[in-house]
């Protein structure tokens, strides 16, 4: 039985049974900004917000996030609260205000210049600055206060997201041991030796072990985490049950690969998709050429230079493609206050110019580079128009672009070229899997995307679509919620078996 929004809603009603759900994620799902005197509401470019928003719409509750938009204060009440989605409210967004120093130290500094490179094997060196660490602690405390204020005296499940809040679970448990606290770590967890270079590894691990449940995308990241704890901290590890006990608190560690809402994506986009495609092709001067497409935040983990060099190599290895296709790279600007992100933007500008100069001519350029944000509808139109989508991350927890591309291909066509170092590669095994560090292999992947016979495209795409349909975001949310709800004393599965109106859930939750 497929997981749907309705099924998740039913599970949420049965499991939560009036208990409040509070999600904490640094990035807010809706950002308000000033454009002149007008206030505009935007959806940020973030796999995390794309995935958690449908869950919140189905379950209701409060999302506590950083109010980072220029008009955010004016669009919220005096406690920073507003009902979202603005056009059809289904849950509450509670904005937390940070000073510029806090944002710099906690978000740009410790989260994104220390933890982000520490957890990704992208050969960018982490920067450990004591002042950033102080701000990281301070902001975790600030979010803990906002969460406790939202909950009041009530019982609640707090579902913490990502590497911005490694200290929050322990802070919450110290204040309210009765709360159920779970966390999903959206990025990889590295090997124990890699993590050990962090000067504050013990505090980070102790903070995370305040969770009742800690979840990663894939078993490999769970194992890395258990080994890191084993090496670093005094604790009891139960390998069979993947559980760690420390300071009287047991944390269960589980893999739950995140996903998308394929039905929503299939419905996205204009009614007349072909007209919109023609309009976009016209605007981007793409003519009728077959398209390869890359869609990313401009981030050094995404392997964008590698992908562009592969276009260069493709034209050397297979000159017959000259003038016969276009590679469209969309790069949403990201974390631009950080030097390595600005440098990457500059490197991409130069690389595109160099490759286009080398191979282009007669009005044709192999690469079209758009350093800007595209909304979900525009992206769907482009995904559907593409011969292939290239995801060449050097390392990525999951990568939802891969799943969005598959979900948008209701025509069962198109080729996904996918890095073997993404979480998605362990599920989408019918993609053309490549090592992005191997230039010739990546170029050959692009060649395959341009030449794969339609019947082969179709059987690969059908199987990948089935995978994304079966393992969708509602299944992810439903199984996580079921697992988390077991920690609510009155809701325990062994005490109240009659609560399981959904028999398959029992099997899946235990499977």
Residue positions counted in the chain: 511
In this structure, are residues 458 and 335 in contact, taking their beta carbons and an 8 Å threshold? no
47 binds ligand G6P per the rule CB under 6 A? yes
Q: Kindly tell me which of 188 and 388 has the beta carbon lying closer to ligand G6P.
A: 188
Distance CA 202, CA 196 (A): 9
Count Cβ atoms within 10 A of the Cβ of residue 79 and give its class: 0-12 exposed, 13-18 middle, 19 or more buried: exposed
46 binds ligand G6P per the rule CB under 6 A? yes
Q: How far is the CB of 113 from ligand G6P (least distance, A)?
A: 12
Binding ligand G6P by CB under 6 A: which of 11, 24, 31, 48?
A: 48
Q: How far is the CB of 195 from ligand G6P (least distance, A)?
A: 17
What is the per-residue burial (b if ≥16 Cβ within 10 Å, else e) of 240-275? eebbbebeebbbbbbbbbbbbbbebbeebbeeeeee
Residues from 129 through 188 that contact ligand G6P (CB under 6 A): 162, 186-187
Residue 304: name the closest of 332, 277, 271 by CA.
332
Q: How far is the CB of 454 from ligand G6P (least distance, A)?
A: 33
Contact segment (CB under 6 A) with ligand G6P among 15-23, 43-51, 206-214, 383-391 equals 43-51
Distance CA 47, CA 61 (A): 20
- Print the binding letters for residues 282-321 with ligand G6P: x by CB under 6 A, - otherwise: ---------------x------------------------
395 binds ligand G6P per the rule CB under 6 A? no
Residue 419, SS3 per DSSP: strand
Q: How far is the CB of 160 from ligand G6P (least distance, A)?
A: 11
In this structure, are residues 502 and 11 in contact, taking their beta carbons and an 8 Å threshold? yes
CA 331 remoteness from chain centre: 16
Tokens of 440: 């010739």
Tokens of 359: 């191979």
Distance CA 247, CA 265 (A): 44
259 binds ligand G6P per the rule CB under 6 A? no
Contact segment (CB under 6 A) with ligand G6P among 42-50, 118-126, 482-490, 500-508 equals 42-50
Q: Kindly tell me which of 217 and 313 has the beta carbon lying closer to ligand G6P.
A: 217
Q: 195 — alpha (psi -120 to 50), left (phi > 0) or beta?
A: alpha
- Print the binding letters for residues 449-488 with ligand G6P: x by CB under 6 A, - otherwise: ----------------------------------------
Residues from 316 through 355 that contact ligand G6P (CB under 6 A): 334-335
Residues that bind ligand G6P (CB under 6 A): 27, 46-48, 162, 186-187, 297, 334-335
């Amino acid at each position: 039985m497929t997981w749907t929004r309705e099924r998740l809603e039913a599970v949420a009603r049965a499991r939560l049974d009036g208990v409040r759900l509070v999600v904490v994620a640094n990035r807010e799902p809706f950002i308000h900004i000033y454009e002149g005197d007008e206030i505009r509401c935007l959806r940020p470019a973030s796999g995390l917000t794309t995935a958690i928003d449908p869950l919140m719409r189905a379950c209701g509750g409060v999302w506590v996030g950083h109010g980072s938009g220029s008009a955010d204060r004016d669009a919220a009440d005096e406690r920073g609260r507003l009902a979202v989605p603005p056009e059809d409210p289904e849950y509450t967004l509670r904005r937390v205000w940070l000073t510029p120093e806090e944002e710099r130290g906690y978000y740009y500094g410790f989260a994104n210049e220390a933890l982000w490179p520490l957890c990704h094997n992208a050969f960018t060196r982490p920067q450990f600055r004591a002042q950033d660490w102080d701000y990281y602690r301070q902001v975790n405390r600030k979010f803990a206060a906002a969460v406790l204020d939202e909950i009041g005296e009530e019982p609640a499940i707090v579902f913490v997201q990502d590497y911005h809040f490694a200290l929050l679970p322990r802070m919450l448990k110290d204040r309210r041991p009765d709360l159920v606290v779970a966390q999903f770590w959206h990025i990889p967890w590295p090997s124990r030796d890699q993590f050990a270079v962090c000067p504050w590894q013990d505090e980070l691990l102790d903070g995370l072990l305040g969770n009742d449940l800690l979840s990663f995308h894939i078993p490999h990241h769970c194992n890395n985490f258990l080994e890191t704890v084993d090496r670093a901290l005094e604790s009891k590890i139960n390998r069979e049950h993947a559980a760690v006990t420390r300071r009287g608190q047991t944390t269960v560690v589980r893999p739950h690969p995140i996903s998308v809402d394929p039905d929503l994506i299939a419905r996205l986009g204009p009614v007349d998709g072909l007209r919109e495609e023609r309009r976009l092709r016209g605007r981007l001067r793409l003519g009728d050429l077959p398209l390869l497409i890359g869609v990313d935040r401009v981030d050094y983990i995404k392997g964008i230079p590698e992908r562009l060099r592969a276009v260069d190599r493709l034209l050397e290895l297979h000159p017959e493609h000259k003038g016969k296709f276009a590679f469209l790279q969309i790069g949403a600007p990201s974390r631009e206050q950080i030097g390595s992100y600005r440098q990457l933007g500059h490197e991409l500008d130069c690389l595109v110019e160099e490759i286009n100069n080398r191979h282009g001519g007669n009005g044709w350029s192999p690469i079209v580079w758009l350093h800007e944000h595209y909304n979900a509808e525009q992206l769907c139109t482009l995904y559907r128009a593409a011969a292939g989508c290239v995801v060449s991350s050097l390392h990525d927890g999951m990568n939802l672009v891969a799943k969005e591309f598959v979900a948008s291909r209701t025509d069962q066509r198109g080729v996904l070229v996918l890095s073997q170092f993404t979480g998605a590669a362990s599920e989408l095994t019918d993609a053309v899997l490549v090592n992005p560090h191997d230039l010739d292999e990546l170029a050959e992947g692009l060649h395959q995307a341009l030449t794969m016979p339609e019947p082969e495209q179709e059987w690969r795409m059908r199987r990948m679509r089935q995978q994304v349909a079966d393992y969708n975001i509602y299944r992810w949310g439903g199984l996580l919620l079921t697992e988390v709800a077991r920690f609510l004393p009155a809701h325990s599965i062994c005490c109240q078996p009659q609560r399981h109106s959904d028999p398959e859930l029992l099997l899946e939750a235990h499977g």
